[in-house]
Chain A
Amino acid sequence: MLIANRGEIALRINRACQELGVKTVAIFSEADRESLHVRQADEAFCVGPGPVARSYLNIPNIISTALVTGCDAIHPGYGFMAENARFASICADHGIVFIGPKPEVIAAMGDKATAKRVMKEAGVATTPGTDILASVDEARKAASKIGYPVLIKATAGGGGKGMRVVERPEDLERSFHGASSEAEASFKDGRVYMEKLIRDPRHIEVQVLADEFGNVVHLGERDCSVQKPSHQKLIEEAPAPALSDKARRALHEMAIKACKHVKYSNAGTLEFLADGDNVYFMEMNTRIQVEHPVTEMVYSVDLVKEQIRIASGEKLGYAQSDLALRGHAIECRINAEDASNNFAPEAGTLTKVVFPGGPGIRVDTHVFSGAQVPPYYDSMIAKIVAFGATRDAAIARMERALRETVIEGVHTTIDECLVILATPEFRAGNYNIGFLPRLLETQAADAALAAAAVTA
Chain B
Amino acid sequence: MSDVQTPPGDIAARVRRLVEAFIETDLIRVRIERDGERIEVGRPPMRQDHAQVAEAVALAAEPVPVRNVELIKADLVGIFRLSRPAPVEGDLLEGDRELAYVEALGIRNPVRSRGAGRIAAILCKDGDAVDYGRPLFELDRG
On B, residues with C-beta under 8 Å from A are 1, 4-5, 76-79, 104-105, 129, 131-134
Contact = CB atoms under 8 A, between A and B. Distances in A.
A55 B78 CA distance: 15
Interface of A: 30, 38-40, 42, 44-49, 55, 60-61, 63-65, 67-69, 94
Nearest to A69: B129
A393 B78 CA distance: 52
Contacts of B1: 38-39, 44
A63 B78 CA distance: 10
A68 B79 contact: yes
Given A61-B77, A64-B105, 10 more contacts: A38-B1, A44-B1, A45-B131, A46-B77, A48-B132, A49-B132, A55-B132, A60-B76, A61-B132, A68-B129
Contacts of A55: 132
Q: B1, B129, B132: which has the most chain A beta carbons within 10 Å?
A: B132
A64 B78 contact: yes
A49 B104 CA distance: 18
B4 A47 contact: no
B4 A60 contact: no
B77 A65 contact: yes
A35 to B, nearest CB: 11
Nearest to A94: B105
Contacts of A46: 77, 131-134
B4 to A, nearest CB: 5
Contacts of B132: 30, 45-49, 55, 61
Contacts of B78: 64, 68
A122 to B, nearest CB: 38
A47 B76 CA distance: 7
Given A30-B133, A47-B131, A64 B76 contact: yes
Contact of B105 (A38, A47, A60): A60
A199 B77 CA distance: 50
Contacts of B105: 60, 63-64, 67, 94
15 contacts: A30-B133, A38-B1, A39-B5, A40-B4, A45-B132, A46-B77, A46-B134, A47-B77, A47-B131, A48-B132, A49-B132, A60-B77, A60-B105, A61-B77, A68-B79
A38 B5 CA distance: 11
